[in-house]
Structure 1
Amino acid sequence: MESLQVCDYMNHHPVKLTKDMPVAEAVECLLQSGQSGGAVVDERGRLTGFLSEQDCIRKMIESCYYREQVCRVSDIMQSPALSVKPYMSVIELAELLLKDKPRIYPVVDDDGVLVGSINRSAILKAIDKQLRSGYQVAS
């Protein structure tokens, strides 16, 4: 049987944003990374919030109407952010997804420091791998 811990399937290079960052800069980071959201961290790397594409789209539409782009990440980030531990079971996380429905979870250590992120695709991949290994043993 394959391991089903978050740490085995998480992205070890998540987007890291700061609360003082302009939203336009945060959007550039998200676009360059191809990730649909990013963790907002403090100077010690601890998770303080989360910024999704959805949050950015809403603010960017307002900016188009009012021709202003003075918004900072702290103005629109979700805080507190939902997060998971690296040693959490992917199955437990999948059950959380059914209830809370975020696309990405920041992964933090026991001190709240960001160590990665995990998205729906990685969770599906882990469960699929587990199911396949179960079928191969039964054959």
Structure 2
Amino acid sequence: MVKSYRGVQEEKPVVIETQRISVKDYMSTHLITFHPDQSIMEVVQELLTHRISGAPVVNSMGELVGVISEGDCLKEVVKGKYHNLPSMCGKVKDHMATNVVRIHPEMNVFEAARMFLEMKIRRFPVLDDHGRLIGQISQKDVMRAVQNLKTENWH
């Protein structure tokens, strides 16, 4: 029998460093937003100018009331073609999506990624505990988050 000259050793717990990857760390906070009474033509111009595919719609109190996308704007284009009218004078409120899935800033980025895949949505508005719009996360934001991660210990 071999005895250790060091005596009984206390095992030190293995500490695994985990990375916190919340939506709030990767969401966009400087957002282009629209108002329900804006014209579709204004929206199209802004989407093209800023090279974005959609944006949140907020009321005069800054509350999220919907989301408008390129696809929503195309509805007005088709309507104009049908009526042989070249103008796009429709309003955002007539074409925006109002049943919007919202997420919390503390949500894990991987949960957001799962939601993107399941719901086939390109962006989620991020609301705080008081229901205020504080940001937006897109699929590109999630990919950026994953690119910045170490290869181990995600949570």
Q: Provide TM-score, normalisation by structure 2.
A: 0.79
The reply to whether residue 122 of structure 1 matches residue 141 of structure 2 is yes
Equivalent residue number for residue 37 of structure 1:
54
> In proportion to residue count, which structure has more helix?
1
Q: How does 1:61-76 map to 2 (within 5 A)?
A: 61-66=78-83, 67=85, 68-76=87-95
Equivalent residue number for residue 35 of structure 2:
18
The AA in structure 1 aligned to 2:128 is D
The reply to whether residue 58 of structure 1 matches residue 75 of structure 2 is yes
* CA–CA separation in structure 2 for the residues paired with 1:33 and 1:72: 20
- Equivalent pairs, count: 134
Q: Provide TM-score, normalisation by structure 1.
A: 0.87
The AA in structure 2 aligned to 1:102 is I
Equivalent residue number for residue 98 of structure 1:
117
The reply to whether residue 28 of structure 1 matches residue 45 of structure 2 is yes
The AA in structure 2 aligned to 1:93 is A
Q: Percent sequence identity over matched residues?
A: 31
How far did 1:129 drift? Answer: 2.2
Summarize the Cα distance change of 1:80–1:111 in structure 2 as closer, same or farther, 3 Å threshold: farther
Retained in 2: the 8 A contact 1:21–1:72?
A: yes
Is the partner of 2:148 in helix, strand or coil? helix
Task: Kindly name which structure, 1 or 2, has the bigger radius of gyration based on alpha carbons.
Answer: 2
Retained in 2: the 8 A contact 1:38–1:51?
A: yes
* CA–CA separation in structure 1 for the residues paired with 2:80 and 2:20: 45
Retained in 1: the 8 A contact 2:75–2:95?
A: no
Please list the CA deviations of residues 71-94 of structure 1 after superposition, one character each: whole Å capped at 9, or x if unmatched: 100001001211211111111101
Q: Which runs of 4+ in 1 moved over 6 A?
A: none
Is the partner of 2:129 in helix, strand or coil? coil
**CA RMSD across the alignment:** 1.7
